[in-house]
Structure 1
Amino acid sequence: MNKKEVLEIRKQFTPANCAITRICGCYVDHEKNKKMESRDAFLSLPEEEAFKYFDIFKKTMSGTMGRNMLNMEFPLDAEMPGGTQEFLMKLRNSKLEDDMLLEEFYDKVIESYIYEENYYIVLIHAMYDIPGKSSDNIEMFDASDNVYEYLLCSICPVSLSKPGLCYNAEDNRIQDRIRDWIVDVPDKGFLFPAFTDRNMDIHGVLYYTKKSEDLQEEFIDHVLGAKMPMSADTQKETFQMLIEDTLGEDGDYETVRNIHETLNELIEEHKEEPEPLALDKTDVKKIFEKSGVPNEKMETFEENFEETAGEKASLLAANIAETRKFNIETPDVVIKVNPERMDLVETRIIDGRQCLVIAVDDHIEVNGVNVRTVKAPGSITVAGNEETEDIEQ
């Protein structure tokens, strides 16, 4: 799924576009006991309650593609009799009216989902009549040929509200506030089947995680059985290792800076594309070569890539690039640079020491205080390796 397809499903979570037929829930305590279960026709819910559920469903399909929302495919054995995908198909086809299937689903989640406090499992069934589109991409709601039938699961932490005082309007006094168990925004969730090319894709699932570094492999394996991609954090670490392994001890600031500049240029070129920019072994190799990595270093690139990432691995550019910050660190100094102005920093050998040289074209602030700069054109500030900071004309 891409951003446009996710947004198309999100648009259904409003009263005007609602395609939800049934909603089921299971409240689980910190000891993994089922404390409450519910089954309702969604349209029978009170309006205010339905609006709050809409917010939960929208959150389950939010964030960054490839970081918070991950496309996953089912291996062949998951689609065989007894497989996880086959079970999810049965659950969807039951329209959430089979109590035994629901109990089995809840048990699967409770057994594998890792959370030490209370949480609420919300599961909905929906039927979306996919509108056709004209040649100029305008939706034609009276030209629908397909119905997208799907499940959306949201797992929400439930926590006790903070103690405090409140105003009692009835008695006109301040009193101790009653503490309630509050359903929070989703931590995990999934959409099944996937909605790919504006149609149902029973071979895929869209997985949601609030924290990109916490995918919960056991939950994915036990409940979904889908192939788990590298997390966004793992992709970033893999790319950093690939740079270090390729450059070796001869890696210099300019080359690393060039790699990140080339990567950010690619992201800028593809920012209007609905699909996230994915980079395979060949793409990363071209980035390194364009950034000035010496030919002798590139001789072992393919071997390094396969060992570090995997032969057929793909890295999302948004996960491995630093588009909002560019940090330069020494044991005693941290410099934060606007990624668009990395050209302001360069390295030089001054008095036999390697130094970082930062061009100062405007003012300097120290802890929020403006300080005087050298009143000479082209003045630069030099940050030494460890101790000194010089000013050169």
Structure 2
Amino acid sequence: MNEKEISEIRRRFRADKSNITHVRGCYVNEKQEIVSQFDQPLSLLPQEECENMLSVLRRTLSGTLGKNLIEMPFTTAQVVDSDEHRLLMALRDSKLTDEEAVRMFFEKVIASYRPEGTYLILLANDTYDVPYRAKDGETLEDASENIYNYVLCTVCPVKQTKPVLGYDVPENTFHNRDIDWIVSAPQLGFLFPSFTDRSADIYSAMYYCRSASESYDEFIDAVFNREAPMPAEEQKTTFGTILGDALNDACSLDVVQTVHSRLCGMIEEHKASKDPEPLTITGRTMKTMLTACGVPGEKAEKFEEACAEQFGADAALSPRNLVETKKFEIKTPEVQIRVDPEYSEWIETRYIDGAPYILIPAGAGVQVNGVPIAITRPDVEYEEEE
């Protein structure tokens, strides 16, 4: 799925757009016990509650593609004959009316997801009459291409509110409000099947994870029977480690600045082009970039080999997961400096009297702990004003 396809399905989760007739739910306590299950018809809910329910579901399709939204492909063998794929198809094809399939799915999630507190599992089914889209991008609502039948799963923490003072309008006084339990934003979930080329792709699911640093390996193994992808934050750390280890003494400030600048430039160009397909690079792409930066060929080759070992041969990586586009950071054991990437080229390294230094030009407006300071030349004496 690309960004346009994700947005198209996200727009379905409105009361006037959706064909979701009911939502299946399972509330689980801290002991991994089912407290209650429900099958909630949306038509019986007040409009505001219906919109809130759809809003929670919609957030499972939010975030950045490749970071929060990750494609989970199935092998041909899985699609032909596997318990995990058969269960997902049963949920979809029955429109969540297959009680045995729903029960088995809830049990799978509970056995593989163990947060500290209570949580809610939601399942929704929607049937989308996909409108025809002409070559010029114009959508013809009356001309349908196909029917997209899908299931969305959302797993949300349920948290207890803290006692607070609340205003009682009729009495014109303040009182403690009762402690309540509220549904928080989705922690993880998925869409099955994927909406690829604006049609159902039973060979893929779109997995959602709110945190770019978390990896719910057991959940992914139980639902999709495949190895969990490396979280985005871990990808960034791994990429930096590989770069430093492979290049060794060739990993200079200039090289890191250039790599950061070029990756950020690729991200900006992709954004400006409005290309819905995700931007990706490979270890081979990075090898070419490093060679252009003047890195010796054998070290660039070593980097490519390390990428293949850590991420997989010819793995497609998102540059957004490898660099911070809004900051450029320098750390020593004692000092940490953050610079706007636009001005990262101002930073340089130099040896002075045999010691390495990091130098940053300082003009007007320098502050220390919020206090404006003056930087005087050592050969200019300070004169007291009369």
The normalised TM-score by structure 2 is 0.92
* Larger mean Cα displacement after TM superposition, 282-291 or 179-188: 282-291
CA–CA distance in structure 1, aligned partners of residues 69 and 38 of structure 2: 27
Q: Which residue of 2 aligns with 1:306?
A: 308
1:365·1:371 contact (CA, 8 Å) conserved in 2? yes
| 1:238-292 deviation per Cα after TM superposition (whole angstroms, max 9, x unaligned) | 2112211221144221122222112112222212322221111211111212222
Distance of aligned partners of 1:105 and 1:169 in 2 relative to their CA distance in 1, 3 Å threshold:
same
SS in 2 for 1:150: strand
Task: Give the counterpart letter for 1:358 in structure 2.
Answer: I
Distance of aligned partners of 1:375 and 1:17 in 2 relative to their CA distance in 1, 3 Å threshold:
farther
Query: Shift in Å at residue 83 of structure 1?
Result: 2.3
Q: Which residue of 2 aligns with 1:155?
A: 155
| 1:293-332 deviation per Cα after TM superposition (whole angstroms, max 9, x unaligned) | 1234224333333233322322210000121111111122
Query: Shift in Å at residue 208 of structure 1?
Result: 0.7
1:21·1:127 contact (CA, 8 Å) conserved in 2? no
1:363·1:373 contact (CA, 8 Å) conserved in 2? no
1:234 aligns with 2:237: no
Paired residues for 1:1-393 under 5 Å = 1-226=1-226, 228-271=228-271, 272-374=274-376
CA–CA distance in structure 1, aligned partners of residues 93 and 302 of structure 2: 51
SS in 2 for 1:167: strand
Query: Shift in Å at residue 45 of structure 1?
Result: 2.2
CA–CA distance in structure 1, aligned partners of residues 280 and 291 of structure 2: 18
Q: CA RMSD in A?
A: 1.8
Q: Which runs of 5+ in 2 are unaligned?
A: 379-386
CA–CA distance in structure 1, aligned partners of residues 363 and 275 of structure 2: 36
* Percent identity of paired positions between Structure 1 and Structure 2: 39
| 1:198-235 deviation per Cα after TM superposition (whole angstroms, max 9, x unaligned) | 11111111111111121201101102224532221221
Task: Give the counterpart letter for 1:343 in structure 2.
Answer: E
Distance of aligned partners of 1:39 and 1:324 in 2 relative to their CA distance in 1, 3 Å threshold:
same
CA–CA distance in structure 2, aligned partners of residues 355 and 28 of structure 1: 56
Distance of aligned partners of 1:345 and 1:122 in 2 relative to their CA distance in 1, 3 Å threshold:
same
CA–CA distance in structure 1, aligned partners of residues 253 and 295 of structure 2: 12
Instruction: State the 4+ residue runs in structure 1 displaced beyond 6 angstroms.
Output: none
2:243·2:303 contact (CA, 8 Å) conserved in 1? no
Query: Shift in Å at residue 54 of structure 1?
Result: 1.8
1:73·1:227 contact (CA, 8 Å) conserved in 2? no
SS in 1 for 2:124: strand
SS in 2 for 1:51: helix
CA–CA distance in structure 2, aligned partners of residues 249 and 356 of structure 1: 17
Q: Which residue of 2 aligns with 1:389?
A: none
Distance of aligned partners of 1:139 and 1:244 in 2 relative to their CA distance in 1, 3 Å threshold:
same
Query: Shift in Å at residue 334 of structure 1?
Result: 1.2
The normalised TM-score by structure 1 is 0.91
CA–CA distance in structure 2, aligned partners of residues 322 and 122 of structure 1: 34
CA–CA distance in structure 2, aligned partners of residues 155 and 301 of structure 1: 38
* Larger mean Cα displacement after TM superposition, 167-176 or 230-239: 167-176
SS in 1 for 2:325: coil
Query: Shift in Å at residue 174 of structure 1?
Result: 2.9
1:245·1:304 contact (CA, 8 Å) conserved in 2? no
2:346·2:361 contact (CA, 8 Å) conserved in 1? yes
2:250·2:295 contact (CA, 8 Å) conserved in 1? no
Q: Which runs of 5+ in 1 are unaligned?
A: 377-393
1:118·1:157 contact (CA, 8 Å) conserved in 2? yes
Q: Which residue of 2 aligns with 1:387?
A: none
SS in 1 for 2:360: strand
2:79·2:202 contact (CA, 8 Å) conserved in 1? no
Task: Give the counterpart letter for 1:165 in structure 2.
Answer: L
SS in 2 for 1:131: strand
CA–CA distance in structure 1, aligned partners of residues 202 and 134 of structure 2: 26
Task: Give the counterpart letter for 2:242 in structure 1.
Answer: L
CA–CA distance in structure 1, aligned partners of residues 301 and 110 of structure 2: 49
Query: Shift in Å at residue 172 of structure 1?
Result: 4.3
Task: Give the counterpart letter for 2:244 in structure 1.
Answer: E
Query: Shift in Å at residue 366 of structure 1?
Result: 1.3
CA–CA distance in structure 2, aligned partners of residues 231 and 77 of structure 1: 26
